[in-house]
Structure 1
Amino acid sequence: MKFTVFLSGLLLLFLLSDWTESVEDDTVDINTLARIINFFEQNYKRVDKDGHPRQYAIAINVPKHQCQQNFFPAQNNFLPQEKVENVKNAINDETNALYQGSELIAAGTRKVVINKKKQYNMHSESLLLNPVGNSPMTKLLDESKDSCSVFYTFDSPCVDTCLDATGSHSIIEALKNWKEHDGIKAFVFKNFWKFDEKDTKKDLQAEFKQIVAHVPLFRCVSENECYACKGEGNTPIDEHCLPPKEI
């Protein structure tokens, strides 16, 4: 009897260890994620002539180990084929605002002129994720099937365009496609879109759950400060991923 119990215990320990490793294999290490986002900010961040930051988004598809514990991204070991100046020049050109590489894609905002009196800026998230099924993101994910894919947007996706499931520039269908990709996934933002204006007045708890329904959501605000937003099922979005409550 004791021998049987002992064997059962060993089997349980083995299965638990195997399950734990499996979970870790498909989960980004949050400290490594913070370093990756900091690498983006140090190398590709858009700023205007006065030094003010401007919206941009980046997605990568890299080997899994580069999103796991104890990886420190640097110029000599991370995205070596993507030349910084090429990326920056491409995303700052508002007539196209798009860079497509083998491990990295990036976008600024594209100026679309309808006529002399009407024009708008196509958002960077939509530029990378649309059209669904034939987007820069689709092509990037096709480069490697079981890897680590991270999508980073400087400002959170806007409610009226990117998170409007019925809109022509919605990213929701693209996130559904991304969900089917194997490997580690992380959708990350830093700031809130138009913090002092309409987006933060809306129910971002419900809006961000549209993202979480398909891929894990994170907010990274510095090299040492990154949060898992949670929000799966009935779990609420973590308060660090929501605008501060008005007093």
Structure 2
Amino acid sequence: MVCFRLILLSLLSPVAWAQIENLKEIVNFLQTSYGDGGQFAVAINVPAEKCSAGVHPDQNFLPNDNAQNAKASMNSPQRVYRGQELIGAKPKPIPNTISNYHSEYLLLILSDPPNQSPNDPLMQKLLNRDPNGCVIFYTFNSPCVRSCSTPTNRYSIIPALDGIKNHKGAKAFVFGQVWKHDENKAQWEMNMKEINIKVPLYRCDNAGCTRCVDNNNVVQAQCKAS
């Protein structure tokens, strides 16, 4: 029985799941505290013990990253918040175009400060602060097929996920809902599998958190539901 349990836990990727016992609580906290109704993305790197304890309303989970300050920065022209244990972004217009830098791209790929070293994005700086910390990347909408999640696209975030993949601590990539333009797209399912290869992928909503890709490389129905 003990041997069977160990095998089962290994299949469920214990580093990613068992250590983030309060994933739903943390995601609820991030959405409630740092979101304001539209698309945004945040990433945290916190001491490992914070991913195995409750997130209570009377406790300050991120004491150095005031929610109001973070939201003000994400609503500024720069659209980015550079914090101690949390970074965040909202879509930012690309000059002289009708397109946006997506929030995931701003955190994972855009250099910091802008136009400097391409090897110094915000996410890598956050990862470096605690090599053994618990890392959660949360985006309200799932990364879009048109640019972010398709590996061959110019603004794809897939290669940049290697930084999180190589992180020693517990980690998870989480989205709250399927981007409305990607519902029922076969390419979306393929792209979610690409993300899951790099980082354990979850959907967290009011019903809880679901590991999106099972051991047979099938995207779970709960993750696809609109």
**TM-score exceeds 0.5:** yes
- Shift of residue 78, structure 1, vs aligned partner: 1.0
Give the secondary structure class of the aligned counterpart of 2:72: helix
Are residues 1:147 and 2:137 paired?
A: no
Question: Would the alpha carbon gap of residues 25 and 206 (structure 1) be closer, same or farther in structure 2, given more than 3 Å must change?
Answer: closer
> Structure 1 residue aligned with 2:46, among 62, 82, 85?
62
Q: Which runs of 5+ in 1 are unaligned?
A: 1-11, 47-52
Letter in 2 for 1:98: V
Q: Which residue of 2 aligns with 1:126?
A: 105
Could you list the per-position Cα deviations for residues 54-78 of structure 1 after superposition, in whole angstroms to 9, with x for gaps in the alignment? Answer: 100010000111112x422546341
Could you list the per-position Cα deviations for residues 180-224 of structure 1 after superposition, in whole angstroms to 9, with x for gaps in the alignment? Answer: 11110100001111x2x3x124212211001001100000112x5
Q: Which residue of 2 aligns with 1:207?
A: 191
Q: Which residue of 1 aligns with 2:24?
A: 34
Q: Which residue of 2 aligns with 1:85?
A: 68
Identity %: 36
Distance between the aligned counterparts of 2:120 and 2:133, measured in 1? 20
* TM value normalised by structure 2: 0.85
> Structure 2 residue aligned with 1:111, among 85, 93, 100?
93
Letter in 2 for 1:212: N
Q: Which residue of 2 aligns with 1:101?
A: 83
Are residues 1:172 and 2:158 paired?
A: yes
Give the secondary structure class of the aligned counterpart of 1:227: strand
Are residues 1:161 and 2:128 paired?
A: no
Letter in 1 for 2:35: K
Moved more, 178-187 or 73-82: 73-82
* TM value normalised by structure 1: 0.78
State how 1:1-20 maps to structure 2 within 5 Å.
Answer: none
Give the secondary structure class of the aligned counterpart of 2:100: strand
Distance between the aligned counterparts of 1:229 and 1:177, measured in 2? 21
The answer (yes or no) to whether the contact 1:125–1:153 under 8 Å persists in 2 is: yes
Q: Which residue of 1 aligns with 2:200?
A: 216
- Shift of residue 228, structure 1, vs aligned partner: 1.3
The answer (yes or no) to whether the contact 1:30–1:227 under 8 Å persists in 2 is: no
Q: Which residue of 2 aligns with 1:228?
A: 211
Q: Which residue of 2 aligns with 1:45?
A: 35
Are residues 1:242 and 2:224 paired?
A: yes
The answer (yes or no) to whether the contact 1:59–1:151 under 8 Å persists in 2 is: yes
Give the secondary structure class of the aligned counterpart of 1:219: strand
Give the secondary structure class of the aligned counterpart of 1:168: coil
Give the secondary structure class of the aligned counterpart of 1:183: coil
Letter in 1 for 2:23: L
Could you list the per-position Cα deviations for residues 95-146 of structure 1 after superposition, in whole angstroms to 9, with x for gaps in the alignment? Answer: 21000111000001112221xxx33221100000004632110000000001
The answer (yes or no) to whether the contact 1:153–1:190 under 8 Å persists in 2 is: yes
The aligned length equals 214
Give the secondary structure class of the aligned counterpart of 2:160: helix
The answer (yes or no) to whether the contact 2:193–2:217 under 8 Å persists in 1 is: no
Larger Rg: 1
Letter in 1 for 2:190: A
- Shift of residue 168, structure 1, vs aligned partner: 2.5
Give the secondary structure class of the aligned counterpart of 1:58: strand
RMSD (Å) for aligned C-alpha atoms = 2.5
- Shift of residue 26, structure 1, vs aligned partner: 4.6
